[in-house]
A and B are shown apart, each in its own frame.
Chain A
């Protein structure tokens, strides 16, 4: 008896989004990153197309590594004071993209000016040929002052800028449109809220194909399951033809791991948890691998060792 064909065919496809522009495309990047394009549920190579493996960005911050845990800091001791050197190091470690966080502009930090932030963006673009993700402060007023300067400074480079939120999307959308960047749309753990935000962005002129969605992120053991199922639900709707959910998904893991006690507590404080050197990157890479299995395409990490582990694992199982 013949084995029945159980392959599922879906009407929808995840959007392909390219970040970065090489000199032919009017930018200065030496490489670009394309994510999305899948035609089925994650990892089911027998029935769907997976044209692009997930991309990994390493996070660098204008506020340095203050508050980052020791296992991250130990890799960054030489470069944390110099954004350019830090970015170049990330490229060396195998990152596909750089995620530049403008933390220093946050009023709780030094309140770096919009112009200074724009200069930071330029410095990173000069130091690395990788595509760039620029992440604001999550303070609406600050973002609205800082991000337009930064999109301008990066004009032509086709970066990804975030985050646009339901309460604050107009300014970032307008400046991304003006300077031809992609928009990172953040809505907390609910596909309806994601859809609503995508409609709002579309209403102010952003093409649905120019968005990447961030359903917010939870670390392994700390809410990951919620986000995992949100991504899954979104994926089911997207593949069934819902254009408002066909955006590729980003998760920002490194920052979340930084809040997980099990991942950041040094061995002398919690000896029962074993070697911190093993535990910290493992928590980060395990979270990342799980998210890839839920469908996430772009993952932001902090720890270069976690990046190595996650990339190795994904390469071995990517269909």
Chain B
């Protein structure tokens, strides 16, 4: 079998012919950047084949001259030497830290999912000879109106010594459970803070926030499962491809990401991992399955059934999360295989289920979900939007991090602004929304999103392919041009079409229209600088009075945070999940029609967007 050597790492791996250079790199443990799952779309996996011949597959993204895309090069019979340039190397996806407002309360607040209490127990005597454990429970029962406490065998074994070390004044840490409370620790005061964490496992981005005294940072990184595919379906396919290994790969990746984020956060706050006693996790159904190592393959097969939606709290040992090993992980509940915990968290965070009049929550993640409802009803559906609005799988896409272009203006010359004013490194979701709207208004592309040949900035790559040069390499904070390809535009249009069509189908099923909604809340991690007019111009959002459109940020993380701080919020997500009615769009007769008519800028029916098209 041929050998593939990676430089400058100097690692060699033996692979069978037919394996791609990208896959060989994975096996050689030389991770190469890749955000599209090896489909030749993102153009991140640029390498140089220095020795030997490979078979080259066609790619949507053309690499620079003399370079190749690792995912498009297939090993034949020959030994190959591959040079991985610095910009293609990805030891670990970078962690970004963003300042947010500090939480007001002291930690942990009373009623959080994990609580700490200092107790004064009466020492045992001949008159009061209750066993140590029962003595502790008796005291706990008085502390909270709660009868049921559970102490694990592991804890029981140490309990007599711990209580006596504490001189009968133990510090007790407890977690909430559906049946009562679980004692996680009882012993002498640790003299350390007890903190919690909220985590949002997105298909494209993983975010975490620490709930600790003074903590005011959100850490995020790309979900490194992305190397196995950009969306949940391709991840599930990976599980099937290589059964045991496949889903172990995915689980290890996401657990690794969370561990890295939490590691950064505790370090920044001067804490230790063992200070984290509880983690509340939110994410879509597939992400929850993959995090817990539950086999997800039936999620993508009719009738689309997951392993579990209402999940029990679990031990970090069983998942591999590096927090206090006696701590607990609380997974928020999902509604269906395609409406996950991120949505129940979103409903909690936005208060949708408490509103008097119907409103909508649109979560613009890799899977776009829409919930319509109020305190009387909740209905939801899901539309596969793809990672385009999160900057994934696009030629110059970026998460919303410093240097990401998040705002674009038209005029004589198309101008832009970046997050933090840094030199541009890519385009994030709001940047894409603006860019589409601007190019449309300036006539640089038509209403199907096709570039106009000869328009300013539009250049021809070959006979059939045009692309828009947005920021040249000289101006950019990176080595190559920041561009918008035709494939990017098509993806964005499909994504926005899927979202709008899904919302329309849901509303029509309710006998409602967009204008019946009091508020349209847009959630997502794509940057905060959404230009509402531009989002309406491209038909992502309906043409309603702009004040009804609200940008609510990452509600998945916000909901996880709320649930962590207040266990009643955690219980509320379970009620929300149980009360939501799910509409399956894949079998809905009207969806495809709505989708095709929404894959146009702004829409095939101009009357739906009167302020954009001028139609009445």
Contacts and interface: CB of A to CB of B under 8 A. Distances in A.
Counting chain B CB atoms within 10 Å of each CB, the highest count among A141, A190, A196 belongs to A196
A195 interface: yes
B463 A141 contact: yes
Contacts of B604: 192, 195-196, 199, 244
A179 B455 CA distance: 24
A199 B613 CA distance: 11
Q: Which 9 A-B pairs have the closest CB atoms?
A: A192-B597, A192-B596, A195-B604, A196-B600, A192-B604, A196-B604, A200-B446, A166-B448, A199-B447
B322 interface: no
Given A166-B448, A167-B450, A199 B606 contact: yes
Contacts of B596: 190, 192-193
B452 interface: yes
A170 interface: yes
Contact of B600 (A167, A170, A199): A199
A166 B463 CA distance: 17
A296 B450 CA distance: 30
Given A192-B600, A193-B596, A196-B600, 9 more contacts: A195-B597, A195-B605, A199-B447, A199-B604, A200-B447, A200-B448, A203-B446, A244-B604, A244-B606
Interface in A190-221: 190, 192-193, 195-196, 199-200, 203
Contacts of B593: 192
Nearest to B453: A170
Interface in A165-202: 166-167, 170, 190, 192-193, 195-196, 199-200
Interface of B is mostly: loop
B450 to A, nearest CB: 7
Contacts of A244: 604, 606
Interface in B23-63: none
Interface in A41-74: none
Interface of B: 446-448, 450, 452-453, 463, 593, 596-597, 600, 604-606
A190 to B, nearest CB: 6
29 contacts: A141-B463, A166-B448, A167-B450, A170-B452, A170-B453, A190-B596, A192-B593, A192-B596, A192-B597, A192-B600, A192-B604, A193-B596, A195-B597, A195-B604, A195-B605, A196-B447, A196-B448, A196-B600, A196-B604, A199-B447, A199-B600, A199-B604, A199-B606, A200-B446, A200-B447, A200-B448, A203-B447, A244-B604, A244-B606
Determine the interface band of chain A, counting residues with CB < 8 A from chain B: 10 to 19
A203 B463 CA distance: 24
Nearest to A233: B593
Contacts, number: 31
A200 B601 CA distance: 10
Nearest to A197: B448
B366 to A, nearest CB: 25
B479 to A, nearest CB: 33
A200 B452 CA distance: 12
Counting chain B CB atoms within 10 Å of each CB, the highest count among A141, A199, A200 belongs to A199
Contacts of B606: 199, 244
Nearest to A204: B446
Contacts of A203: 446-447
A291 B447 CA distance: 31
Contacts of B452: 170
Contacts of A200: 446-448
Contacts of A195: 597, 604-605
A73 B583 CA distance: 56
Interface string A151-168: 000000000000000110
Nearest to B448: A166
B443 to A, nearest CB: 9
A215 B244 CA distance: 49
Contacts of B453: 170
Contacts of B463: 141
Contacts of A192: 593, 596-597, 600, 604
Contacts of A190: 596
Contacts of A196: 447-448, 600, 604
Interface string A122-160: 000000000000000000010000000000000000000
A244 B605 CA distance: 9
Nearest to B446: A200
A195 B597 CA distance: 9
B174 to A, nearest CB: 58
Contacts of A170: 452-453
A200 B446 CA distance: 7
A193 B604 CA distance: 8
Nearest to A199: B447
A195 B603 CA distance: 10
A19 to B, nearest CB: 27
A190 B604 CA distance: 12
A276 B190 CA distance: 97
Counting chain A CB atoms within 10 Å of each CB, the highest count among B604, B605, B606 belongs to B604
A24 B600 CA distance: 42
Nearest to B454: A170
B599 to A, nearest CB: 8
A244 B593 CA distance: 16
A21 B605 CA distance: 34
B613 to A, nearest CB: 9
Contacts of B446: 200, 203
B576 to A, nearest CB: 35
B306 to A, nearest CB: 33
Contacts of B605: 195
A170 B606 CA distance: 21
Nearest to A242: B605
Nearest to A167: B450
Counting chain B CB atoms within 10 Å of each CB, the highest count among A170, A192, A193, A203 belongs to A192
A48 to B, nearest CB: 25
A193 B597 CA distance: 7
B490 to A, nearest CB: 12
B603 to A, nearest CB: 9
A207 B453 CA distance: 22
Nearest to A169: B446
Contacts of A193: 596
A57 B463 CA distance: 34
A141 B463 CA distance: 9
Nearest to A237: B605
B218 to A, nearest CB: 41
Contacts of A141: 463
Nearest to B607: A242
A193 B606 CA distance: 14
